[in-house]
């Protein structure tokens, strides 16, 4: 039986099961690591694990992604078909039910493997694109957001800027960015996701979200992880201190290795968003307004 039929049958013959799941999840306060792929979410996932947060990260997946395939596939699919969703009402009720079914399965797994963890949550970059759905399901969630210099991200590859991947194809098509060099596609993908998330956080309480930068994490990892611990109300563990010492401090400003003309093009596209996050342009190019996050 397909999941859609299963959820439909639940809604008809066992509506109490859907209601109980919804209420059970709403009472939770998971830790959600938010950030565009290649922005340092992996480092944050392992840091949170070292602080005692059950994230579902295992050594089999060095990326730090939650080790729950069904949940990951669900988030990726929902992100692809809800790119213009900005409020919970923009998501189809079946998509809401599907997400809640998948995240409930992931939560059950985490309770089983780490029953004594102080907190739980996950890192999966595509979650960045369904933030309103996450908040609708978990009104008490805590969001840790990490941004990396978009010029660095522009010269890396991720499925959200890959025309050969369904999500990347959908996102770039939405932006009208199917043509052109990859570094501009990646830059526009980064800008779009950062701007959409910025708009999302405008409606959050300050105590509910923490903004970090990849550059701070690399240049001052101990201080940054202490900020994370304080935000979560957790003690700074020895494991987290040890992990902080493993974070390399020379992985920033890699964009300086790119040809100057490419860098100038990237800054011309995402310059204002870079400036909003405190990144200083290094070329003399003009900057254009950020891409609208509106549908």
pLDDT-derived band at 250, boundaries 50, 70, 90: confident
Q: What is the dihedral of CA 250, 251, 255, 258, to 10 degrees?
A: 80
Taking the domains of the chain in order of start, what are their residue ranges? 3-276
**Buried (b) or exposed (e) across 116-146, using 16+ Cβ within 10 A?**
ebebbbbbbbbbbbbbbbbbbbbeebbbbbb
**pLDDT tens track for 187-212:** 999 999 999 999 999 989 999 999 99
Q: Alpha-carbon distance 236 to 51, whole Å?
A: 7
Q: What is the pTM of this model?
A: 0.92
Q: Could you give the percent of the chain with pLDDT greater than 90?
A: 85
Contact 143, 209 (CB under 8 A): yes
**pLDDT tens track for 123-181:** 999 999 999 999 999 999 999 999 999 999 999 999 999 999 999 999 999 999 999 99
CA-wise closest residue to 138 among 56, 35, 84, 209:
209
Q: What is the pLDDT of residue 288?
A: 54
Q: What is the pLDDT of residue 286?
A: 52
The CATH number of the domain covering residues in 3-276: 3.40.50.300
Rg (CA), the chain: 19
Q: Alpha-carbon distance 180 to 185, whole Å?
A: 7
């Amino acid at each position: 039986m397909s999941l859609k039929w299963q959820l439909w049958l639940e809604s008809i013959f066992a509506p109490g099961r859907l209601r109980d799941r919804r209420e059970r999840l709403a009472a939770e306060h998971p830790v959600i690591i938010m950030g565009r792929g290649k922005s340092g979410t992996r480092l944050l996932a392992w840091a949170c694990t070292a602080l005692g947060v059950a994230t579902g990260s295992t050594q089999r997946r060095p990326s730090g992604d939650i080790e729950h395939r069904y949940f990951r596939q669900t988030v990726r699919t929902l992100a692809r078909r809800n790119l213009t969703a900005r409020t919970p009402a923009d998501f189809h009720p079946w998509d809401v039910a599907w997400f809640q079914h998948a995240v409930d399965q992931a939560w059950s797994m985490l309770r089983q493997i780490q029953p004594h963890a102080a907190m739980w949550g996950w890192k999966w970059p595509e979650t960045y694109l369904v933030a309103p759905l996450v908040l609708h399901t978990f009104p008490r969630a805590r969001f840790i957001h990490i941004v990396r210099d978009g010029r660095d991200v522009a010269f890396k590859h991720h499925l959200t800027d890959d025309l050969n991947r369904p999500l990347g194809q959908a996102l770039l098509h939405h932006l009208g960015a199917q043509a052109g060099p990859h570094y501009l596609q990646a830059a526009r993908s980064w800008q779009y996701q950062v701007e959409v998330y910025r708009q999302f956080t405008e409606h959050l309480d300050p105590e509910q979200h923490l903004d970090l930068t990849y550059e701070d994490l690399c240049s001052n990892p101990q201080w940054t992880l202490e900020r994370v611990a304080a935000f979560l109300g957790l003690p700074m563990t020895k494991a987290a201190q040890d992990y902080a010492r493993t974070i390399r401090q020379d992985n920033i400003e890699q964009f300086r290795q790119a040809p100057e003309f490419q860098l100038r093009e990237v800054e011309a596209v995402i310059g204002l968003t870079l400036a909003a996050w405190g990144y200083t342009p290094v070329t003399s190019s003009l900057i254009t307004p950020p891409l609208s996050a509106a549908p």
